[in-house]
Structure 1
């Protein structure tokens, strides 16, 4: 298939165990599978796996500079599951995500934000406030946004490991299939911006 971009596009996936690929072979992790799906569509994309199992949004905020040191063309942010499991204050989660988004903005790196929900019974009020952190940030900052990372997988025993929290390889394929249209638009936007910059640059 003819590539949609002339040069390689490098993305970094900053996340927790859902990105790292807890319990899976390295080749089955979310960044690897999404990379394969994008390449099958003709996009010369490499996705660096910057997922750490057990990480929270605070951990992500502390690691964002290291993630951006890879000089990515785009950043995928998948964090919040562990915050929700611990019942951390939504305002705290928002502040951490804002720190990540501010760091990316300072480097001129666009972000695809993955939403998360509180997965265990923390009550409807907490659940709504927690989920709204992600949707509100995406709207306010005009980000590429996938509302719920575990859509179609959460609470499905066939798509989760025995712990009921981490996707199986089949679960990751379900996730990547669902997020693919958003990721494809994200990559298209990066490629278009790159082309615009190239055309605007003076010929030596």
Structure 2
């Protein structure tokens, strides 16, 4: 099934592709912020189109679903959705400082997929993710960090693909932060759970992504 996902990912990115390059999503959606609680305790979701809810109505992305669960359990946290379509780890590193604010208890970093699609050197992706973790630890030393793992299609070659996937668990272990092994687990490669591009989850797909996130986030809260 994952192989099918990879094929869809290659086809779904749109535009021209080659053996060594696939077009990543365009940076065409602005940051959104979702809040539905007046609590001073905040959870920051910092990511790309998967977090922003590309192609969906406002309020259908998984951070909002997480907020709804938090509210139902009366846990007293306010979710901030700082997802931006097209975001890479480099642009994310430059933007992160602007959205870190007092009161954030948990930071979920969901970035890297666009790096992989564009063939960004792996050491740059790793360095940028490390810099973001360092930034959170320095500015919000009490905040918990969750890193969302990602997988990419094999068009960059097996060595690149394999090494890309290991960046996330290795960094999580090194920095002793929590890891979502694969954000799109049980969603990637399933047509009914993805939009027409084969990449971005549908409303139902976002519900499963929310469950994947909650498995790690829930025990922390």
Q: TM-score higher than 0.5 here?
A: yes
Instruction: Give CA-to-partner distance per residue, 1:96-125, whole Å, 9 cap, x none.
Output: 001100110002132111011113532221
Aligned equivalents of 2:154 and 2:41: distance in 1?
Answer: 37
1:79 to 111, 117, 135: 111
Task: Please state if 1:23 is matched with 2:55.
Answer: yes
Task: Please state if 1:45 is matched with 2:77.
Answer: yes
Aligned equivalents of 1:34 and 1:119: distance in 2?
Answer: 28
2:213 to 166, 172, 179: 179
- Structure (1/2) with the larger helix percentage: 1
Aligned equivalents of 2:153 and 2:76: distance in 1?
Answer: 35
1:5-154 matched pairs, under 5 angstroms: 8-69=40-101, 71-107=103-139, 108=141, 109-154=143-188
Q: After the TM superposition, which segments of 4 or more aligned residues of structure 1 sit over 6 Å from their partners?
A: none
Aligned equivalents of 2:136 and 2:159: distance in 1?
Answer: 30
Unaligned segments of structure 2, at least 5 residues: 1-38
TM-score by length of 2: 0.78
CA RMSD of aligned residues (A): 1.4
Shift of 1:44: 1.5
Shift of 1:39: 2.6
Classify the secondary structure of the residue corresponding to 2:209.
Answer: helix
Aligned equivalents of 1:119 and 1:25: distance in 2?
Answer: 27
Q: How many equivalent pairs are there?
A: 181
TM-score by length of 1: 0.84
Classify the secondary structure of the residue corresponding to 2:210.
Answer: helix
Unaligned segments of structure 1, at least 5 residues: 1-6, 188-204
Instruction: Give CA-to-partner distance per residue, 1:139-179, whole Å, 9 cap, x none.
Output: 01110110111111111111111001111111100111122
Aligned equivalents of 1:96 and 1:176: distance in 2?
Answer: 25
- Which structure ranks higher in relative contact order (CA pairs < 8 Å, sequence separation ≥ 6)? 2
